[in-house]
C-alpha cells in the first residue's frame, strides 16, 4: 500500500505507516478534517467513513468543531484554533481555499504531501506538510505561512502557528500522559484523566524548560505498558512552546502543538514566510512500551546526527571540583579516570576568563592564565595520551555582567529600556537573535575549536529569558523568541559541519533543553543535575517515555550524594547509570582502592552491554510504581542477545523478588548468562522469567547479559 493515497472524488488523503493510517478529508467548505487516526485503512475503507452519521449532533454546534486538522478559526467554531492571524485592517482569521496539492518522494524513502491553501481575499498562503515513512508510524508535520502581497498590503500578524493539530478518534474516556519537573527533578511521568476544556502544557522561558516537555500521549485510560493503543505527538523545538490538549463536551479531542507562547506574536512582512518547526505524531498499539520504542527508533534512525555511534563512557569534573580547577588537578583526575576505562574526559565550568565562581567571566572564552598558564594544550595532550577524548564545558548564550564581554557590549543582552535586568545565577541572556551577536559567538567557538583539539562540547544554558526585549527591533520585537533558537540551531549546524569530529551534549542546568529539535544537532543530553541513584530511577523512567537511552547522560557520583545527602552502594549507582550513557562524576581522589577497582569492573561490564542499552529495543519490565523493583531489558535488534538491569530499593518481610518474564526472545532458542554460564530456555525466560538473585540489603541491583546459543 502506498504511504500516501489520494481519492480526488472524495477529496481524501490516506497517510499510512506499517501499522496506522491518518485520514484527511477536505469538506465542502474547504475545511480540512481529520477523519481517522488509528489502524490502517485503505482508501475505499476511508471513503466509507463519509457515509457515517455524526453522533450526537446538536443545532448549536458546528459538527466540524474539534475535528479540523487545520483550524484557522472563524465561523461557528469556538474550539482551539492552531492557526490564528490578524490582517492590517483588523480582520482576524483565515478563510482558506485549497489551491493545490503535491507529493514528493524523498531519497530516504519517505513521501511528503503538501496541501496548499490561500485565503480567498487576503494575500496569505498556508502550506500544510505531511511526511510519511514506509517503515515507521511517525508522521512529521509542519506549516509554511507566506505573505504573497506587496508593501501596500502591510504586514500580517501571526498570533499563533501550531505546527500540527492532531484529531483523535472518539474513545469514550481519555487519559493524558506527560512529564512534569523542576530543576533536579526533571521528566517525572504523570498520567491523568483529560478534563473537559483546554489543558495547556507550555514553556514561556525561551527554552524547552524543566517544568514540562513538548510531547503528550493519549489513551483510553485502559492502556498498559504492554497492551492498548496510544496516540502521541512531540514538537521539535528548543524555545518557548505550547501544546494544547483539548476535550470538548461533544467528546472531540485534539492535540495541537507549536512554537511560541501566549501572548507572543510575529509580523509577516510582504514576501516573507514563516516556517514552523516539525511536530511529529504517531498511533501505536502494544501499550506505552511499544509507543516508547517507536519514538526511540524515530530518534535513533531519523533525528540524531550519528545514530549508529556508541557513546563513550565519560568522566565529568563538575561534582568533584566545581569551580576549583587547574591544569594539575584536572590531569590528576584524568589519570584516575583513564585507569577506570573512561573514554572521554570532560572539564566542566571554571576554566576561562575570571570564572573562579559563578559571578564573573561568562562570555570571556579564553583560558584563565593563572589556572592554565600554557592554555588548554597541556591538559588536552595528556588526556589524548591517556587514550581518552577531550571535552569542554561552555555556556555560549550567556554573559556575567562582570565580564569583559558585557563591559564592551552591555546592549547585547535581552533587555527592555526603562526596565530592570533580572539576573539569575548572576547572569544575563545574550540576544542571539541579533545577527552580530550570533556572528561574534560563532567566531569565538570556532576559534576555540580550531586552536584546541576538542572532541566534545558540553553546551550549557543555565537561565531562562526575562525582559525579553530587543531595542532597535521595533517592527517585530517578539521575533527574538524564534530567532534565538534558529540562530542557536544554525550555530550548532555550522560548528558541526566545520568540525566533523565534534560531538555535543545538550545541557540546561541538567535536563532543561531536551527535545527533538536539539537532538537533531547534539549527541546526548545531560539528564539532570540530580545524580542521586534513587531519584534518577524516577527521572530516567519519565525520560525513557519518549527519548532513548542512547542520549540519556547518567553519572555515577559520590556517596552520600552531594545534593540529596543520601547514600547508595557503588554497584547500585553504577547499575542505575548504566541504563543510559554511562558517565562518572565523582571525586575520584576520594574513592578507595577497592571502589576504584570495582568501578573499573563495572565500566568494563557496561562496555559489554552498551550496544544493547544504547542501540537496542527497550522493554520496561517492571516500570516504576510497580512495587519496589524497577527492571529494564534491552534487546538487540536481531534478537541475538539482551541485557537486563534490575534495581531494587528494599526487600519486604524477607520476600525474594519474583522472576522477571523477559520479552522479545526466541522461545525455541537457549540463552547463556555471560557472567555465570547458566543456560536458559527462551520459552522459560518468556513465560516463567529470569530468576533474580539480589542481595538482601537495601539498594540491591544486578546486570544480566544473555546471549543466544548457536545451534
Ligand atoms: C549546570 C550543569 O547542569 C552542571 O552539570 C554544571 O555544568 C554547571 N552548570 C556548571 O556551571
Distance from C-alpha of 557 to C-alpha of 534, rounded to nearest angstrom = 12
CA of 460 to the centre of ligand 1 (A): 7
Atom number in ligand 1 closest to CA 458: 7
CB 83 within 8 A of CB 71: yes
Beta partners for residue 153, in sequence order: none
Atom number in ligand 1 closest to CA 507: 3
The pLDDT assigned to 346 comes to: 98
Distance from C-alpha of 25 to C-alpha of 45, rounded to nearest angstrom = 13
Residues 6+ apart with CB under 8 A from 121: 95
Atom number in ligand 1 closest to CA 322: 10
Go through the chain and tell me how many residues it has: 711
Q: Is 374 left (phi over 0), alpha (psi -120 to 50) or beta?
A: alpha
Q: Give the DSSP per-residue string, 119-140.
A: ESSSSEEEEEEEEE-TT-SEEE
Beta partners for residue 379, in sequence order: none
Question: How far is CA 692 from each of CA 20, 289, 700, 704, 705, rounded to the nearest angstrom?
Answer: 38, 22, 11, 9, 13
CB 68 within 8 A of CB 77: yes
Cis peptide before 263 (omega within 30 of 0): yes
Q: Is the CB of 510 under 6 A from ligand 1?
A: yes
For ligand 1, atom 1, which residue shows the shortest CA distance? Answer: 509
Distance from C-alpha of 3 to C-alpha of 60, rounded to nearest angstrom = 38
Residues 6+ apart with CB under 8 A from 637: 615, 616, 617
Distance from C-alpha of 537 to C-alpha of 515, rounded to nearest angstrom = 20
For ligand 1, atom 9, which residue shows the shortest CA distance? Answer: 509
pLDDT digits (tens, 9 = 90+) for 349-370: 999 999 999 999 999 999 999 9
Q: Which residues of the chain have pLDDT under 50?
A: none
Distance from C-alpha of 158 to C-alpha of 153, rounded to nearest angstrom = 15
| Pairing of β 12-16 and β 4-7 | antiparallel
| Pairing of β 524-526 and β 503-506 | parallel
Tally Cβ neighbours within 10 Å of residue 548: 27
CA of 630 to the centre of ligand 1 (A): 28
Closest-CA residue to 163 (of 214, 209, 203): 214
- Enter the C-alpha cell of residue 504: 555535543
pLDDT digits (tens, 9 = 90+) for 252-268: 999 999 999 999 999 99
Give me the phi and psi of 289, to 5 degrees please: -60, -45
Q: Could you identify the residue written with the cell 472524488?
A: 9
Beta partners for residue 525, in sequence order: 506, 552
Beta strands in 535-576 (DSSP E): 552-556
The pLDDT assigned to 60 comes to: 80
Residues 6+ apart with CB under 8 A from 636: 611, 612, 616, 642
Q: Is the CB of 571 under 6 A from ligand 1?
A: no
For ligand 1, atom 4, which residue shows the shortest CA distance? Answer: 509
CA of 484 to the centre of ligand 1 (A): 21
Does the CA dihedral 138-143-144-148 come out positive or negative? positive
Does the CA dihedral 267-151-431-416 come out positive or negative? negative
CB 299 within 8 A of CB 289: no
CA of 510 to the centre of ligand 1 (A): 7
Residues 6+ apart with CB under 8 A from 343: 312, 313, 314, 387, 388, 389
Residues 6+ apart with CB under 8 A from 546: 213, 215, 232, 234, 292, 295
Catalytic residue chosen out of the listed positions 348, 529, 532, 535: 529
Select from 348, 351, 357 the residue to mutate for testing ligand 1; criterion: most ligand atoms less than 8 Å from CB: 348
Q: Is the CB of 462 under 6 A from ligand 1?
A: yes
Q: Is the CB of 459 under 6 A from ligand 1?
A: no
DSSP 390: E
CA of 295 to the centre of ligand 1 (A): 28
Structural domains of the chain in order of their starting residue, each with its CATH number = 4-303 (2.70.98.60), 317-614 (3.20.20.70), 620-708 (2.60.40.1180)
The pLDDT assigned to 710 comes to: 87
Distance from C-alpha of 225 to C-alpha of 696, rounded to nearest angstrom = 28
Atom number in ligand 1 closest to CA 358: 11
Q: State yes or no: is 460 an active-site residue.
A: yes
Select from 318, 527, 528 the residue to mutate for testing ligand 1; criterion: most ligand atoms less than 8 Å from CB: 318
Beta partners for residue 176, in sequence order: 192, 218
Beta strands in 169-302 (DSSP E): 175-180, 188-193, 197-203, 215-219, 229-235, 241-247, 253-259, 266-268, 273-275, 279-285
Atom number in ligand 1 closest to CA 393: 7
3-state secondary structure of 543: helix
For ligand 1, atom 2, which residue shows the shortest CA distance? Answer: 509
CB 662 within 8 A of CB 569: no
CB 113 within 8 A of CB 129: yes
Atom number in ligand 1 closest to CA 348: 7
Q: Is 0.85 surpassed by the pTM of this model?
A: yes
Select from 462, 504, 514 the residue to mutate for testing ligand 1; criterion: most ligand atoms less than 8 Å from CB: 462
Q: Is the CB of 507 under 6 A from ligand 1?
A: yes
Question: How far is CA 155 from each of CA 121, 272, 470, rounded to the nearest angstrom?
Answer: 15, 9, 19
Q: State yes or no: is 404 an active-site residue.
A: no
Select from 322, 347, 395, 460 the residue to mutate for testing ligand 1; criterion: most ligand atoms less than 8 Å from CB: 460
CB 376 within 8 A of CB 637: no
Q: Is the CB of 318 under 6 A from ligand 1?
A: yes
For ligand 1, atom 11, which residue shows the shortest CA distance? Answer: 349
Atom number in ligand 1 closest to CA 510: 3
* Alpha carbon 694 to its chain's center: 34
Closest-CA residue to 337 (of 377, 379, 307): 379
CA of 509 to the centre of ligand 1 (A): 6
Tally Cβ neighbours within 10 Å of residue 698: 15
Closest-CA residue to 296 (of 307, 285, 286, 305): 307
| Pairing of β 175-180 and β 215-219 | antiparallel
Amino acid at each position: 500500500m502506498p504511504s500516501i493515497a489520494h481519492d480526488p472524488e472524495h477529496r481524501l488523503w490516506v497517510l499510512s505507516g506499517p501499522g496506522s493510517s491518518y485520514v484527511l478529508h477536505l469538506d465542502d467548505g474547504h475545511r480540512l478534517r481529520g477523519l481517522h487516526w488509528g489502524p490502517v485503512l485503505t482508501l475505499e475503507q476511508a471513503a466509507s467513513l463519509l457515509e457515517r452519521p455524526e453522533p450526537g449532533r446538536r443545532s448549536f454546534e458546528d459538527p466540524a468543531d474539534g475535528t479540523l486538522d487545520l483550524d484557522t478559526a472563524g465561523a461557528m467554531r469556538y474550539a482551539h484554533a492552531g492557526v490564528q492571524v490578524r490582517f492590517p485592517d483588523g480582520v482576524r482569521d483565515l478563510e482558506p481555499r485549497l489551491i493545490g496539492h503535491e507529493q514528493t518522494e524523498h531519497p530516504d524513502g519517505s513521501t511528503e504531501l503538501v496541501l496548499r491553501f490561500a485565503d480567498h481575499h487576503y494575500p496569505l498562503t498556508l502550506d500544510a506538510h505531511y511526511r510519511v515513512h514506509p517503515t515507521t508510524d511517525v508522521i512529521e508535520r509542519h506549516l509554511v505561512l507566506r505573505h504573497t502581497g506587496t508593501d501596500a498590503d502591510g504586514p500580517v500578524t501571526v498570533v499563533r502557528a501550531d505546527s500540527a493539530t492532531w484529531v483523535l478518534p472518539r474513545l469514550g474516556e481519555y487519559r493524558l500522559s506527560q512529564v512534569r519537573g523542576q530543576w533536579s527533578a526533571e521528566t517525572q511521568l504523570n498520567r491523568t484523566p483529560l478534563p473537559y476544556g483546554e489543558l495547556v502544557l507550555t514553556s514561556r522561558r525561551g527554552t524547552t524548560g524543566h517544568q514540562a516537555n513538548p510531547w503528550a500521549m493519549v489513551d483510553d485510560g485502559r492502556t498498559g505498558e504492554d497492551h492498548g493503543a496510544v496516540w502521541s505527538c512531540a514538537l521539535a523545538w528548543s524555545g518557548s512552546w505550547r501544546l494544547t490538549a483539548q476535550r470538548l463536551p461533544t467528546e472531540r479531542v485534539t492535540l495541537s502543538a507549536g512554537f511560541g507562547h501566549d501572548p507572543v506574536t510575529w509580523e509577516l512582512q510582504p514576501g516573507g514566510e514563516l516556517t514552523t518547526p516539525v511536530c511529529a505524531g504517531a498511533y501505536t498499539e502494544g501499550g506505552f512500551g511499544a509507543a516508547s520504542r517507536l519514538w526511540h527508533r524515530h530518534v535513533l534512525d531519523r533525528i540524531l546526527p550519528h545514530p549508529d555511534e556508541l557513546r563513550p563512557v565519560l568522566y565529568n569534573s563538575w561534582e568533584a571540583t566545581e569551580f576549583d580547577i587547574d591544569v594539575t588537578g584536572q590531569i590528576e583526575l584524568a589519570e584516575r579516570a583513564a585507569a577506570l576505562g573512561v573514554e572521554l574526559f570532560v572539564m566542566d565550568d571554571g576554566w576561562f576568563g575570571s570564572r573562579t565562581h559563578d559571578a564573573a567571566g561568562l562570555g570571556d572564552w579564553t583560558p584563565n592564565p593563572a589556572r592554565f598558564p600554557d592554555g588548554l594544550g597541556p591538559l588536552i595532550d595528556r588526556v589524548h595520551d591517556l587514550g581518552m577524548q577531550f571535552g569542554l564545558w561552555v555556556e555560549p548564550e550567556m554573559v556575567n555582567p562582570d565580564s569583559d564581554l558585557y563591559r564592551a557590549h552591555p546592549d547585547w543582552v535581552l533587555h527592555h529600556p526603562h526596565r530592570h535586568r533580572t539576573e539569575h545565577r548572576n547572569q544575563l541572556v545574550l540576544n542571539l537573535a541579533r545577527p552580530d551577536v550570533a556572528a561574534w559567538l560563532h567566531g569565538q567557538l570556532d576559534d576555540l575549536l580550531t586552536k584546541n583539539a576538542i572532541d566534545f562540547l558540553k553546551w550549557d544554558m543555565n537561565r531562562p529569558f526575562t525582559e525579553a526585549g530587543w531595542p532597535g527591533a521595533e517592527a517585530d520585537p517578539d521575533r527574538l523568541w524564534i530567532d534565538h533558537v534558529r540562530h542557536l540551531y544554525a550555530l550548532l549546524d555550522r560548528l558541526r559541519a566545520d568540525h566533523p569530529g565534534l560531538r555535543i551534549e545538550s545541557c540546561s542546568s541538567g535536563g532543561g533543553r531536551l527535545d527533538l529539535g536539539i537532538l537533531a544537532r547534539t549527541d546526548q543530553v545531560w539528564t539532570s543535575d540530580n545524580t542521586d541513584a534513587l531519584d534518577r530511577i524516577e527521572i530516567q523512567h519519565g525520560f525513557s517515555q519518549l527519548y532513548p537511552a542512547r542520549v540519556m547522560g547518567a553519572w555515577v557520583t559520590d556517596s552520600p550524594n552531594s545534593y540529596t545527602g543520601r547514600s547508595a552502594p557503588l554497584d547500585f549507582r553504577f547499575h542505575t547509570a548504566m541504563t543510559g550513557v554511562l558517565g562518572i562524576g565523582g571525586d575520584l581522589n576520594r574513592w578507595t582502592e577497592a571502589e576504584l577497582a570495582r568501578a573499573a569492573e563495572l565500566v568494563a561490564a557496561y562496555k559489554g552491554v552498551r550496544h544493547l542499552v544504547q542501540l537496542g529495543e527497550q522493554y520496561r519490565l517492571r516500570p516504576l510504581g510497580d512495587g519496589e523493583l524497577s527492571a529494564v531489558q534491552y534487546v538487540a535488534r536481531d534478537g541475538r542477545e539482551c541485557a537486563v538491569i534490575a534495581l531494587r530499593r528494599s526487600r519486604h518481610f524477607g520476600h525474594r523478588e519474583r522472576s522477571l518474564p523477559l520479552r522479545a526472545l526466541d522461545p525455541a532458542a537457549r540463552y547463556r548468562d555471560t557472567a555465570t554460564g547458566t543456560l536458559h530456555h527462551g520459552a522459560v525466560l518468556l513465560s516463567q522469567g529470569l530468576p533474580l538473585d539480589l542481595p538482601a540489603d537495601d539498594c540491591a541491583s544486578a546486570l544480566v547479559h544473555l546471549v543466544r546459543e548457536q545451534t
